[in-house]
Amino acid sequence: MDEAARDWLDQLRVERGASVHTVSGYRRDIERYLADLRGRGVTDLDAVTPADVERHLEDLRSGACTGRPLAPSSVTRALAAIRGLHLFAVREGAARGDPAARLSAPRTGERLPKALSVDEVTRLLDAAHGGDDPISLRDAALLEVLYGTGARISEAVGLAVDDIDLDEEYPVVRLFGKGRKERIVPLGAFARDALSAYLVRSRPALSARGRGTPALFLNTRGRPLSRQSAWEALQRAARAAHLEAHISPHTLRHSFATHLLEGGASIRDVQELLGHASVQTTQIYTKLSATTLREVYRGAHPRATEPAARRARPPGGAGPMN
């Protein structure tokens, strides 16, 4: 069990680019879970039953194994860690079944995705444009594509050179989402210019170090860029921009959607651009800031503001005749 847990946590950190804080939290959850299982005489993942997992979650809620009851959000995180461990073990052949697959987490209330402000995104992307060497040009193009298209990190690093068209009046990129579902997304001027600079002044030098690949974004050895390397590129720009909060590639996707809706885009359009199968997935972004909602209301509702003629009426003026 310990070996499977170590391998899963390593995958989270290296391949999926999880933050140090996330990995540390999951490690505590899993160590507590495995200790609880051993206390019940369970020492093999194949011997764990759904009842074992449910009993552990109930102990977390009641405080039986922690000394104090945990908040629903903490129990939800623990279940996410447990699910991740068992799913990983099944995929890697370390276990035959997943006892946590059908368990549901407690309701914690709807949480909005983390999004940067427009100013923060500008600072981040300006920092990414700080160099003129091949890696700096690549990183700038990558981050401009992530924010300019709302692409998932897997979609961005999976791009081939032929998936972008910069020659048309309206440049576009072809993205392949979940289930290899294809969608065409426009490229803005900043992303177009960053990609043009990368393709002309950076990618040929990087490609010459490898054996030739159609991948758009390359590493220093001329091979396709990994998700981990893309995450590191984002972290370099975040540090240079002095953005202290943890920023992931998905943060740029959330920011893309939020800023489009705040700018007046319809939820259906944003759904198409993000590649969501259901509009319900996109609806979480519709909870805009109070300031934005007030401005929308003032501009759209016929009785949101007082007519000028009425505002100009002097106090004590004649009222309506009976």
> Following DSSP, what letter does each residue of 262-312 receive, concatenated?
HTT--HHHHHHHHT-SSHHHHGGGG---HHHHHHHHHHH-TTSS--HHHHH
Respond yes or no: is residue 287 known to be catalytic.
no
The answer on 51 and 14 residing in a single domain is yes
Task: Give first-to-last CA distance, the chain, whole Å.
Answer: 86
The answer on 74 and 176 residing in a single domain is no
Q: Tell me: the pLDDT tens digits for 21-46?
A: 788 888 999 999 999 999 889 888 88
3-state secondary structure of 185: strand
Residues of the domain holding 138: 118-250
pLDDT above 50 for 319: no
The mean pLDDT of 276-293, rounded to a whole number, is 63
DSSP 112: P
Containing 184, the helix (H) or strand (E) segment is strand 182-186
The CA R_g of the chain, rounded to the nearest whole Å, is: 25
The answer on 130 and 65 residing in a single domain is no
Number of domains in the chain: 2
- Across the chain, mean pLDDT equals 84
The mean pLDDT of 282-307, rounded to a whole number, is 60
- 31 backbone dihedrals φ, ψ, rounded to 5°: -60, -40
- Across 105-114, 167-176, 212-221, 250-259, least confident range: 105-114
pLDDT above 80 for 244: no
Helix %, strand %, coil % of the chain (to 5) = 55, 5, 40
Let me know if residue 34 belongs to a domain: yes
Let me know if residue 276 belongs to a domain: no
The answer to whether 216 and 163 have CB atoms below 8 angstroms apart is yes
Q: Tell me: the pLDDT tens digits for 104-138?
A: 665 555 555 578 999 999 999 999 999 999 999 99
The answer on 82 and 169 residing in a single domain is no
The answer on 129 and 85 residing in a single domain is no
CB < 8 Å & 24+ apart, contacts of 66-72 = 66/32, 72/106, 72/107, 72/108
The mean pLDDT of 72-88, rounded to a whole number, is 87
d(CA 129, CA 140): 5
Respond yes or no: is residue 253 known to be catalytic.
yes
Q: Which of 279, 38, 242, 34 is nearest to 126 (CA)?
A: 242
Tell me the pLDDT band of 223, cut-offs 50, 70 and 90: very high
The answer on 122 and 87 residing in a single domain is no
Let me know if residue 302 belongs to a domain: no
Let me know if residue 12 belongs to a domain: yes
- 100 backbone dihedrals φ, ψ, rounded to 5°: -100, 0
The answer on 139 and 239 residing in a single domain is yes
Residue with tokens 């860029």: 225
Tell me the pLDDT band of 68, cut-offs 50, 70 and 90: confident
The answer on 160 and 56 residing in a single domain is no
The number of helices, as runs of H, and strands, as runs of E, in the chain is 15, 3
Q: Which of 248, 270, 244, 250 is nearest to 259 (CA)?
A: 270
Containing 107, the helix (H) or strand (E) segment is none
Q: Which of 25, 27, 22, 21 is nearest to 7 (CA)?
A: 27
- 226 backbone dihedrals φ, ψ, rounded to 5°: -90, 165
Catalytic option among 178, 268, 287, 298: 178
Handedness of CA 113, 119, 125, 130 (dihedral sign): negative
The answer to whether 231 and 166 have CB atoms below 8 angstroms apart is no
Respond yes or no: is residue 152 known to be catalytic.
yes
Question: Residues 6 or more apart from 225 whose CB is under 8 A from it?
Answer: 138, 142, 157, 215, 217, 218, 219
Q: Tell me: the pLDDT tens digits for 129-186?
A: 999 999 999 999 999 999 999 999 989 999 999 999 998 778 999 998 876 788 999 9
Catalytic option among 129, 138, 253, 259: 253
Q: Which of 250, 271, 298 is the last residue of a domain?
A: 250
d(CA 162, CA 174): 9
- Across 128-142, 210-224, 288-302, least confident range: 288-302
The answer on 147 and 72 residing in a single domain is no
Q: Which of 65, 210, 217 is nearest to 141 (CA)?
A: 217
CATH number for position 84: 1.10.150
3-state secondary structure of 25: helix
The answer on 160 and 201 residing in a single domain is yes
- In the prediction, which pLDDT does 306 show? 59
Between 303 and 191, the more confident residue is 191
The answer on 154 and 224 residing in a single domain is yes
Q: Which of 110, 118, 120 is nearest to 285 (CA)?
A: 110
What does the block give as tokens for 149?
């298209």
The answer on 199 and 143 residing in a single domain is yes
pLDDT above 70 for 15: no
- In the prediction, which pLDDT does 166 show? 92
pTM of structure? 0.59
Q: Which of 215, 250, 285 is the last residue of a domain?
A: 250
Catalytic option among 77, 123, 152, 254: 152
Q: Which of 153, 154, 132 is nearest to 143 (CA)?
A: 153
